[in-house]
Homo-oligomer: A and B are copies of this chain.
Amino acid sequence: LLTQDQRQQLEVVLVRPRNPLNIGAAARAMANFGLNNLTVVAPWEPVWREAKSAVGAPEILANARLTQTLAEAVAHSTLVLGTGTSTTRKAEQPVLSLPDLPPYIDGQLTQQGRIAIVFGPEKHGLTREDLALCHAMIEVPTDSVQPSMNLGQAVAVCLYEAVIHCGISDISSLPHSTPATAERLDLLTSLIDEVMEAARYSPASMRQSNLHDLRLMLRRFAPNEPDTRRLLGLFRRILWRLNNLTKTS
């Protein structure tokens, strides 16, 4: 069971939700499990208005943060967990079965990290591009005949596992290292992208695809903040050198 403080380290992100009832249900599940940090990414305006104005709408909706992109929504997060099923799409990142989640959550809690659990839109879930911003994909081990869960129910089940089955009583004795936020990883990604460009690493037609693979790889590495600082320093130096050499040549 997560403590009240630990629950503050956990956030929910809904990406482009389409059904006001599901938004309400997601918020209610958050209230049931004592969470209150909700971010909604690019909701359709009438849908969002209807969800917020519904009779008995949870207070969480009034205080929700709105962003235009998922990158912005998780910028300050240190562990970003996308949800989905690997039946619909071959995952490009580690896939975690929901009951195996606790050690990962607990690991982040010990490092004072911020965890975002990200849910995609009702019909098709998170896109490949959305998932490239996630460290891992969580999969609820549903039946192959009916694998796809209703959004409100998926949120309830994932939060139940994360809040009730996770949590460690004494974290003070564990080793501590500051994890890197998603924003820092994005900074590193952009910098490496610039370096690849400057180094003429790949033809222009491959740039988007290389960037995508880079995002996935960095999240798999899960560098901590000191690692990230070191890598940023290294690639800044490389970029400076490349540009300098290009100018003088």
Task: Give residues in A with beta carbon < 8 Å to B.
Answer: 1, 21, 25, 28-29, 31-34, 58, 98-99, 140-143, 145-150, 152-154, 156-157, 160-161, 164-165
Contact = CB atoms under 8 A, between A and B. Distances in A.
Contacts of A99: 164-165
A164 B141 contact: yes
A79 B29 CA distance: 28
Contact of A32 (B32, B142, B164): B142
Nearest to A142: B32
Given A28-B150, A150-B25, A152-B152, A34 B145 contact: yes
Counting from the closest, the 9 A-B pairs by CB-CB distance are A34-B143, A31-B146, A153-B156, A32-B142, A157-B160, A32-B149, A156-B157, A99-B164, A32-B146
Given A157-B156, A157-B157, A146 B28 contact: yes
Given A99-B165, A160-B160, A1 B141 contact: yes
B145 A160 contact: no
| This protein's copies in its complex | 2
A137 to B, nearest CB: 17
A143 B30 CA distance: 9
A143 B147 CA distance: 29
A152 B157 CA distance: 11
A82 B44 CA distance: 40
Contacts of A147: 32
A142 B164 CA distance: 9
A181 to B, nearest CB: 27
A28 B1 CA distance: 27
Given A32-B143, A34-B143, A156 B149 contact: yes
A190 B8 CA distance: 52
21 contacts: A28-B146, A28-B149, A28-B150, A28-B153, A29-B149, A32-B140, A32-B143, A32-B146, A32-B149, A33-B143, A58-B146, A98-B160, A140-B160, A149-B156, A150-B152, A150-B156, A152-B152, A153-B153, A153-B156, A160-B160, A160-B161
B31 A145 contact: yes
A25 B164 CA distance: 22
Contacts of A165: 99
A241 to B, nearest CB: 53
